[in-house]
Structure formats: structure tokens, C-alpha cells
Amino acid sequence: MADELGFGPFLALPAAARAELAARSRLARYRRDEPLMRPGEESDAAFALLSGRVRVIGHDGTVLAVMPAPALTGELAVLAGLRRSAEVVAVEPVRALRIPAAELRDVVRRHEGFARTLEAFADARRANAFLRRQGPFTELPSDEIEELAAHLRPVHFAAGALVMRQGERGDDVYLVREGSVEVVRTDGADERLLSRLGPGALVGEIAALTGSPRTATVRCATDVDALLVPGTEVRAVVTRHRALLERMRSVMQARHTPQRTGEHRIDPAPDDPGAVIVHDPQRGVYLRLDRQALAIYQDLDGERTLRDLSLRHLERTGTLDPHAVFSTVAALQVAGLVSAPRVATKGPDGRLLRAIDMVLGPRAELADADPAATALHRVLAPLFSRPIAAAAVVLGIGGLAAAVPVLRTASPTDFGVGGILVAFGGLLLAGVGHEMAHAIAAKAEGSRLGRAGIGLFWFTPVVYVDTSSTWSIPRWGRIRVNAAGPLFNLALAGALGLAARLAAGGVAQALLVWLSLTNVLLVAFNLSPLLEFDGYYVLADLTDTNALRRKAMRFVFGDLARRPRRPRSRREAGALLYVAAALAYVIGASAVALAGVPRVADSLLSAYLADPERSAVALLAAAAVAVTLVSPFVMEAIDARSRPEPGAA
């Protein structure tokens, strides 16, 4: 039976010793669902599985492992002289060697190499079991847990010892198995306790995942047994599992102490005494904050965690509202005004990324577009007046109405291979005119422009102009700037539609129809109240409500849904109007998609698919577009039901 022990830790034994141990063991067979060992029993033997599989079940009913033969089980309790702590049950018929405890201990005593191997094997087994029970890795697949456990190293710290020191560089992460640690932040001679952590806690992950120095000192409050996890292994497993990555990001964000990223200017909002504009002059970033959000911003000194910030907010307002704190910090982080923990992953070579970016996303950018916009404004300023705006609306609506008899589902495929250029040119024309209208309107309101550029995103033209400085002008000025782009596209769509009506037919008429519809689609896209583009910001300024979508949805689907009543203020009425507009947009856009997408798909696929299959694909495409339109509204409503907004202030 010597060959039957030729696996795992037994390979560290000489062949003769393996044969002797096998001879002193007893062959045993177990039926399916029959236990090999039970919790609390005397550990009188270990089991070398020769065939079949067993399930290891913890004292709380958790399945710790499913072990196929060949494998060794039960040795931990034997070597420690403890009673069984888990149940081992046959998943299928099992054949095993039952190794008496005295014989296993004798072999360990006589063969030092086997003892070391078995100890390392036992450490990996204990680490595997711990990873399945506690800590952030519990939901990883079994093979990932086993691979991670193979790289762990058990370590011990005496009470009072430092696991890591604030400010030092370090790449190791520690998973606490037994004992407790204190996480403290030091400032000179001052020390502040951030938290006390026990078994299952992971410490050191921020430095390992972000590449930054240690953000705090971790000191042992008691004797501590821990598992050392190399940072390379943590980063590797995190990048392979998105759910774990998000969980680690949440933990990092909770422990992170956000701080302002530089010297920012704070100016009063021109039309709201209860709001301010935070401006980063270095990057040309503007963000509007109400007074409560400003107080949160001013608390971000790099010393307070999100929990500390929430308690400070409670002291100021008398309301425990951590969500308001979290959302404010998140908005500041997105704007780059506040630091955020970021996972440092090993990406592709930088030269390869630049090459891919040049192919898929080439762009030409003007670092300062203000002089060019100023020159254009001098020439086109007379067009930015109420009479001209009214004329543009009349032209858009009238031209499209006049073109109704010739409007049809036009496609770039009408022009053969040249249709690619037609589609590209139509989108480019609409985008350039749209952004120029924003830029000149911003100059008409006295704002200064930042960057402007043109490029490709997945071979689609993209045009952009930085008009973020308009945050500092009165809201009616912002409304005019945000409305200028869609108004240009509406007027251009009407002019092209009118030209299509007057055209004699053929390719010229099809081209005009396609270009007109391109601008109509751009108007519809930018006026969506659910997407934070022009229409959304116009509505936000019309209702004078910051964070309009979140507040309106929570007010209507949270507060009003639970306690129906009439709106008590202009803002509450505006919130109700916003939700009604969003719902009308979703219904209207879905109806158009269900009616129009099948026609477009049918015309595009007519040369490739027969009628039944073509119709099915067209219907599926229409349904997919409709679901894409409806699902954001539904998800926002569900979220609003779970977290109501107390009024739409």
C-alpha cells in the first residue's frame, strides 16, 4: 500500500516509511452521506482518502471544503491533541486509510522533514478554512480560495507590537485570525484611535491596493495571530473578481480620510444665497454646493473618515444622514476636488495603451478655446437674442412639419459604401454646431471658456467645449447657455427638413432627410431628463434645484408615495414636474423605439435575413432599446422608494 500514500505531504517521507505507515493503518470504506468524523469526537485518527470525495462542514453548518481523493483530513486535530471541530461526510462512496493518531505522531517525531511539510500543509489548510469562514474573501470560488491560501503565511504578534507604521511603504496585507488590533493615526505626539478590529479584519489593504504609504498605524491590543497576504496576490485576485473589487473599494472608502486636493476658490452662487461655487483654477473645475455640502467640504482635512464626517454632520444639523455625507464626498471626488482611494492594478504597457488610444480615440484639443470663441462671438453676437431664438424654434418646428410628407426612415445604407461618410459627416456637423452654440452663448453671458476639442470615440465623432465656468453666472444665463446647443440642432433639423421637402427626390432628398433626422435624434438625446445633459440642466435651473434627479425621484416615489399631498413649495412642484417630464420622455421615446427600430432593422437586414428571422431580430432590437430607455427610470424609482428624500429642498 506504499504507493497509495504517494501524494501531498507524504511525499516528504522515504518510501520505506510510507510503506510502514500504510501497513499500520486500516483500510476503511464509507457509504454516501456516512460521516468519517463528527465535531466533539476524540481525534484518534487521521484519514488518507484513496478514492471518492468528502464534504467538510464547520460547527455553524458552513461547508468549508469539498475534498476529492487523494487527500489528507483530520490531521490538524490529531497533531494539536484537540477534539474534532468539524464534520467530514462522504459525498460519494469513499475508500480511505485510517491512520491511528499515535502512528502519525510517531512518524512526525522521527522524520523532521515530514514534520515541516505537514506543518506547512496544516497552515495552508487552516488558512483555507479561515478564508472560507471570515474576512472579505469568503465568497470567492473554491479554487481561488485554495490558490490564495497556498500563498499565505501565518504570523504572530505580541500585545503592543506594531503590525505597520503610518507613513511607511509596505505591500503586505494582514488578515487577523485571533486577537484584536487598534488602528490609530498620529500627528506628531498626538494619537487618535480610528477603530478596533478583531478576527476576520483585513488591515494594510489600502497601501497594497493603491501603492500609497501606510495611512495609519496598526498596533496589537492583545496577542494576535494573523495571516500575511502578499500584496501581489491581493491585487491579482481583486482584479479577477469584480464583486470583491467593489467590496474592497467600499472598505477602502469607509477607512479613507478624504482631503481637499489643492487651493480652491469659494464664491457665492450668483442667484442663490444658500449656495456657493467651488472652483479649482488649476484644472478649470467648478462645482455648485449648498451650505450643508460646503460644511462637509470644509471638514475634509485628511484626518476624518466618512464615519467621523457623518458624526460632525449630526452635530451641526441634528440629523443623522450618512447618505448625504457619502453622496457629497462622492460628488467632490468625481470632480477631482477631494482625494479618493484608487486600486493600483497592473495594466498593459503604456506605449500599447497610447497606440490603442490613438487608433480608437484620436483627438485634437485646444487648451484655451476662449480667444477663438471670443472672435466667433464678435461676428455672431446678433444671433443671440430672443427674436432669433423664437425664429429658430419656428424654423425647427415648421420645417419638420413641412417635411412630414417626405420624411421616411433614412439610413446611411441608402448611399452604399459612401454611407459611412454620410453618417460621419452628419454627426460631425451636428456636433460642431451644437458645441459652437454653447460656446458663443457662454461668451454672450460673459463667461470664459476652457478646453475645446474634436476626436473619435469608437470611430464616432465627438466634439466638446468646456463651459463649466457658467456655474458662476445667474441661472437664467445658464439656462440660455444649456439651451443653445439643442436649439441650434432643432433649427438645423427644420432647415434640412424644409430643404428635403423642396428637393426633387433621389439621393439628394435622402441625404437631407438623414441629416435632418440626425439633428432630431441629437435634440431628443440632449433633452432627456434622465441623462445629465442639456435638458437636465435646463430643468435643474428652471426649478432652481441642485441634484434635481435624486431629490425629485426620492420626493415623488419616496415622500409623496408614502404620504400623498399637494406640493408645498415651488421646488416640490418642480420636482413633481420633473418626474412627470421624465416619465413622459420614457414613454414617448419607448413608443418611438418600438415603432421605428423594427423598420430600421428590417431595412438594414433585408439583404441578409429572410422575413420571419428578420422580423424576430427587429422586434428583439426594439425591445432591447425600449428596456434600455425604461430601466434607468425604474431603477431610480426603486432606489427612491428605499431612500426617501424629506422634501425637495
pLDDT score recorded for residue 1: 45
pLDDT digits (tens, 9 = 90+) for 108-152: 888 888 888 888 777 777 777 777 666 677 777 777 777 777 778
Q: Is 215 in contact with 178 (CB distance < 8 Å)? A: no
Instruction: Tell me the three state secondary structure of residue 461.
Output: strand
User: How does DSSP assign 225-265, residue by residue?
Assistant: EEEEEEHHHHHHHHHH-HHHHHHHHHHHHHH---BB-S--E
Letter string b/e over residues 241-264, b meaning 16 or more CB atoms within 10 A of that residue's CB: beebbeebbebbbebbbbebbeeb
Q: Is 224 in contact with 180 (CB distance < 8 Å)? A: yes
* Residue 283 CB partners (closer than 8 Å, separation 6+): 336
Q: Is 439 exposed, middle or buried (0-12, 13-18, 19+ CB in 10 A)?
A: buried
pTM above 0.85, yes or no: no
Residue holding cell 497606440? 355
Q: How far apart are CA 304 and CA 322, in angstroms?
A: 14
pLDDT digits (tens, 9 = 90+) for 464-479: 888 888 877 888 888 9
Q: What are phi and psi of 453, to 5 degrees?
A: -165, 170
Q: Is 443 in contact with 433 (CB distance < 8 Å)? A: no
Q: How far apart are CA 587 and CA 593, in angstroms?
A: 10
Compute the chain's Rg from CA coordinates: 34
Partnered with residue 364 across adjacent β-strands are 454
Residue stretches of the chain with pLDDT short of 70: 1-3, 132-135, 245, 253, 271, 342-362, 407-420, 422-423, 457-459, 505, 546, 600-608, 642-649
Give me the domains of the chain, ranges plus CATH numbers: 2-133 (2.60.120.10), 148-255 (2.60.120.10), 265-334 (no CATH), 347-526 (no CATH), 536-649 (no CATH)
pLDDT score recorded for residue 88: 92
Q: Determine if the peptide bond prior to 154 is cis (ω within 30°).
A: no
Q: Which residue from 521, 474, 467 is spatially nearest to 493, judged by alpha carbons?
A: 521
Instruction: Tell me the three state secondary structure of residue 219.
Output: strand
pLDDT score recorded for residue 418: 55
Kindly state the cell numbers that stand for 250. 467600499
Q: How far apart are CA 475 and CA 65, in angstroms?
A: 62
